[in-house]
Amino acid sequence: MDRPLRIGIVGCGRILPAHLHGYKALLDSGVTGFEIVALCARKQGDVDRFLRPGGPAPRPPLTENSNDPLNAPHLYLTDLFPATEARGWTDSHAMIEAGGLDVVDVTATVSAHHPVALHALSKSMHVMVQKPIARTVLEAREMVHAADTAERALGVMENVHFDPTVMMERWLVESGRLGAVQMVMGAYLGTHQWSPSRVVADTPWRHRKEAAGGGISIDLGVHFFQHLRRVCGPISRVSGVVRTIEPVRYLRTGDGTEEVKADVDDAMFCHVEFEGGGVASISASWAGHGPPTSLPGGMVIYGGNGSLHGGVVHLDGEAPTPLGEYFARHATEDERQAVFPLGLRDSFALVYLDYLRAIETGRKPSYDGLEGLMDLALSFAVIESSERHAAVTSAEAVELQ
């Protein structure tokens, strides 16, 4: 293509700055061949907040956690493309019908992913959607089929897939140094900000099935299952229990406190079996009175030759070594380039880099719609298992409605 790919973004919520920083990191690394020419949201003020300075004030930080993508510093499109006159829209259907776009990037609420993606694909546009891919496994299957039919790239912004730490964990397992995966554990019960009953991320849709498809088992479940599959390999079956610990949540507003009735889970406990024979236990909740509980350093992985615990590699007969240091010491140059292409460490930028290269070369993105479908299916398998009181296989999960 002799001109830049023209991208239109649908959605101007709290996650948009993280996406814009990802695009900016590519530009700063010398990656060209794309430009954002359109921005769409239901409210004109939300569009104006990001087009250029002078609109509504940037949203204040959501929490004090600087590592949370929802807290990414504000950016304007003019910070990325000062010479591009991007157009603002309040109707995604009209934006797509107007044509002139090569890619539609959907950062909006989950309920928008399926209809916007199908419309864009029907117009031969490539599509990227924020995770999870859709509200239901059926919607995800329809999106994958539409992309295959249109022969267009369907990507999912699952930044765990290219997270540098996850990639180094994958390298540690694939290299054989850790040995065959035997046991994995992750626990994330309660939060400093949202427990026991505050609306998570101040976004009520996360607690509504019609908008989100599910609760924490879906919103964070897709991250957990991608992490497990990326590092430890294919999953054979899942069993679990979900609960709605707090059926009423509370949103703090300038006018007081608003009640939000939750009809999805805010706690999940699941057991995972890998095709290679290993097992995992993952627990997570947005509820819980008192302080949160988690494993320091994230997931713990035990292999036949040692373990990865708190970001430190413990191999039999060797001194404990931080994962980053161990990787730098033992990885080949090609392996280092695979984890940090162009020296990038922003996981959003790494997803976009792979996606844009996929479009350029005519291949599918590394994390495509089918990958997004699998992680969503496994997340729903936890809910299904809770209802059935029985394990759900991966083959059964991808056929869920």
- Cβ neighbours of residue 235 closer than 8 Å, sequence gap 6 or more: 225, 228, 229, 272, 273, 274, 275, 378, 394
Of 71, 74, 73, residue with least CA distance to 63 = 71
Beta-strand relationship, 248-253 and 256-261: antiparallel
Distance CA 302, CA 147 (A): 38
pTM, to two decimals = 0.96
**Spatial separation of the C-alpha atoms in residues 8 and 126, rounded to whole Å:** 10
Question: Structural domains in the chain?
Answer: 5-161+345-366 (3.40.50.720), 162-341+376-393 (3.30.360.10)
Q: What is the pLDDT along the chain (401 residues), one digit of tens a residue?
A: 678 999 999 999 999 999 999 999 999 999 999 999 999 999 999 999 999 999 999 998 888 787 889 999 999 999 999 999 999 999 999 999 999 999 999 999 999 999 999 999 999 999 999 999 999 999 999 999 999 999 999 999 999 999 999 999 999 999 999 999 999 999 999 999 999 999 999 999 999 999 999 999 999 999 999 999 999 999 999 999 999 999 999 998 777 789 999 999 999 999 999 999 999 999 999 999 999 999 887 899 999 999 999 999 999 999 999 999 999 999 999 999 999 999 999 999 999 999 999 999 999 999 999 999 999 999 999 999 999 999 999 999 999 98
Give the separation between CA 327 and CA 373, rounded to whole angstroms.
Answer: 31
